[in-house]
Each structure stands twice: as C-alpha cells, then as structure tokens.
Amino acid sequence: MTNTTLASKSLESRLRRTTPPDADRLARLRDALALRADAEGLVDVAFERHASPLGTLLLGATPHGLVRIGLPNDELAERISARVLHVAREPLARARRQLDDYFAGRRRAFELALDWQLTRGFRRDVLRATAQIPYGSTASYREIARRAGSPSAFRATGSALAANPLPIVVPCHRVLPASGELGSYRGGAAAKAQLLALEGAR
C-alpha cells in the first residue's frame, strides 16, 4: 500500500468521525459572512426573494437603490457585477413592505430610490415617462413614445417596456396598445390583467 493510499484512507477515516455542521449553524455562518462582506463594501448587489400574488419576485438593490425586480435566475451578476450576495439591506426591506402594501390595495404610489443603470438612452426616457402614469390609469405605446420625446418610435417604446428591469414599480403594465387589448407583458398576459384589475384601471 502506497503512502498516498494510506493518507487517503486516513483522511476518509477522519472525515467519517467528523460531525457535519447542522443547517442552523451553516445558516448563521452564511448570514455572518454576508453581513461582514456588505459592511466591508464587497457586495455590489444585494438580493432577496419575495413572495407575491404573481409568484416569487427577485429584488435586487445596489447602494443607489432598487435596481431589479425579476424572477429567480436573473441576469444581475452578468449585467451589473459578479459581487452579488443575499444580504438584508434597508432598500430591499422597504421595497418588500411597499410591494406588500401595493398588492394588499393599501399603496397607490411607490416611494423608493431607483438605480437606473440597467437602462439608458431612449429606453430610460420611456421608462421614466412610464413611471409617471398614475395608479388606475393607462397610456398607449404611442403616447409614451411622445412623452419620451420620439412620437413615431412606438415600436421602440414597446421594446423598451419589454426590457423594463423594474416592473410593477415602473408600471409598464399600464401601457396598452391603441386597440385597447392587453398587449404583451414580460410577466405574461394573466399577470398584466391581474395588476390592472388590482388597480381598477380603465
């Protein structure tokens, strides 16, 4: 038997005798690591998952504010920074509370700092115009294009809304085709109808 084999068997024997840490201890260690990393400025994006009537939302925040609302397996790491970690940050807690109030019918406007870095140029103009549509109201793609400064760019407006990184808070569900039909929505037509029904939109 070689020295390598002996060493391997010795290691296996020691590992068998070692009691694995329990799940609670691992969770405490993970939380402590996350808090320390955040305190030392090593986390660019903090995220949390949050249950909603639409399903599980992924909320992401940078030091500048809420940057993303989406589903799990989102592109946060790819598009902003690889330093993404599950950390409890106040912007996320505030977003969770306001989303809960919105879905419960107690909130008509969000009061959140937003980080717009996932959009720029005309797309950002479209989303800023969309953010001004009042609760319970709707606007057409053409109208949003006009408000964003390019009245004929209603197709590009549709593309900008389809890529909205902050749905619900930036209410792209309130933008409808001129025909009055629902039109497309990143979360699906049923989710768009549910949001409009919640708001009692025309």
Q: What is the DSSP string of 32-74?
A: HHHHHHHHTT--SEEEEEEEETTEEEEEEEETTEEEEEE-SS-
Tokens of 63: 């030091």
Q: Which of 66, 172, 175, 195 is catalytic?
A: 172
Burial of 171 (0-12, 13-18, 19+ CB in 10 A): buried
Give the domain ranges of the chain: 6-103, 121-199
Percent pLDDT > 70 in the chain is: 71
The overall average pLDDT reported for the chain is 81
For the ranges 58-72, 136-150, 179-193, the one whose mean pLDDT is highest: 136-150
Q: Into which CATH architecture does domain 121-199 fall?
A: Orthogonal Bundle (1.10)
Decide yes or no: CATH 3.40.50 for domain 6-103: no
String of DSSP letters for 83-152:
-EEE---HHHHHHHHHHHHHHTT--SS----B--TT--HHHHHHHHHHTTSPTT--EEHHHHHHHTT-TT
pLDDT exceeds cutoff 50 at 77: no
Rounded to two decimals, the pTM is: 0.74
Pick the more confident residue, 119 or 29: 119
Q: Does the annotation count 107 as an active-site position?
A: no
pLDDT band at 82 (very low <50, low <70, confident <90, very high): very low
| Residue 33 pLDDT | 60
Residue 92 phi/psi, 5-degree rounding, is -75, -40
Most confident of 12-26, 29-43, 66-80, 101-115: 101-115
Burial of 25 (0-12, 13-18, 19+ CB in 10 A): exposed
Percentage of the chain beyond pLDDT 90 is: 47
